[in-house]
Amino acid sequence: MRSLDIPVQSVCNVMLIYYCYDAILPPSHILKLKPFARNFLFIFSKAFVTIFVIVYAQFLIPYQNDAKTRLRQKYPSVPSYMLTNDALIIDDPTYSYVWLIATISIVVVIEVVLMIAMTTYCFYCMSRGNGHHCQKTLAIRRKFLISIVMQMLTHLIVLLVPALILMYCACMKISSQDVTDWCIFLITIHGSVGVLTMLLSNKYYRSELIVIIMKPRCIYGRHATKVVKLEESTRSDTRAVIKNNSWHK
C-alpha cells in the first residue's frame, strides 16, 4: 500500500495552496472568499481525498491468478508459499506505471480547474469594485493575482510532478522500503514546512485555523459581539456630535 501515500499527499498539497491564500487575507479584503465558498473548498478537499483513497485502494489489488502467474514467470525462485491461495498480492509493479500516469493526470486536471476558478473569481471581484479604487490599488491587486498563478504553476511543474516521478523510480528501481519511506517523508515535509511558516508569520492564518479546528461558533460569536459593540459606540458618538452641534447653534 506504499504507493497510496503518493496521490493522497499530492492532492493535499494542491488543496493547501488555495486554502492558504484565503486564510492570509484580512476579513475586509475584496478578494476574501465568502464563508460558503471557503467552507465548500475545505470540505471538498477532505471529501475528495477520502473518495480518492477508497477508489485508488481498490485498483491496488490486481486479479490474483494473473498477478501470481506474472510473479512466477518473472521470479522463478519465488517461494511457493507466496503463490498459494492464502497469499494476497496488493501492489503489482506491472500496473504501477499506468496508475502513476492516471494520478498525475487527475492532479493536473484538479490544479488547472481550481486555478481557473479562483483566478476568475478574483478578477470578477476586482472588476466589480473598479469604480471605487485608484489605478495603483488595482495594479497591486493584479500583481497579487499574477503571483498566485505563478506560485501554483511552480508548485505543479517544479515540485509536484517531479516528486511523483522520483517516487515512482524509487519504488520500482530500488527494492528498499527505507528509501520509499524516506521519499514519502520528504514529500510530507514539503507540505508541512509551508503550513508551519504560515502559522509563525501570519496572524490571519492562525485565526483561520482556530476557527476551523477549535470552536467556530464561539469565535464567530466573539467577532459578532465586537462588531455590535463597535456599531453601538459609533452610533453613540454620532449622537453626541449631533447634540453638540445643535447646542452650539
For 128-145, how does the pLDDT look when each residue is reduced to its tens digit (9 = 90+)?
655 566 777 677 667 766
Mean of the per-residue pLDDT values for the chain? 61
Gap between the Cα atoms of 168 and 183, Å rounded: 10
Do 103 and 10 meet the contact criterion of CB atoms below 8 Å apart? yes
Cell of 38: 471557503
Q: What residue spans define the domains of the chain? A: 2-214, 219-249
* Residue carrying the nine cell digits 479562483: 118
Residue 22 one-letter amino acid: D
Share of the chain above pLDDT 70, in %: 14
Kindly calculate the radius of gyration of the chain based on its CA atoms and give it in whole angstroms: 26
Q: What is the pTM of this model?
A: 0.39
In this prediction, residues 174-193 reach a mean pLDDT of 60
User: pLDDT for 156-171, tens place per residue?
Assistant: 666 666 666 666 665 5
Gap between the Cα atoms of 171 and 70, Å rounded: 18
Do 123 and 32 meet the contact criterion of CB atoms below 8 Å apart? no
31, pLDDT greater than 70: no
Q: Residues 210, 215, 220, 225: is their CA dihedral positive or negative?
A: negative
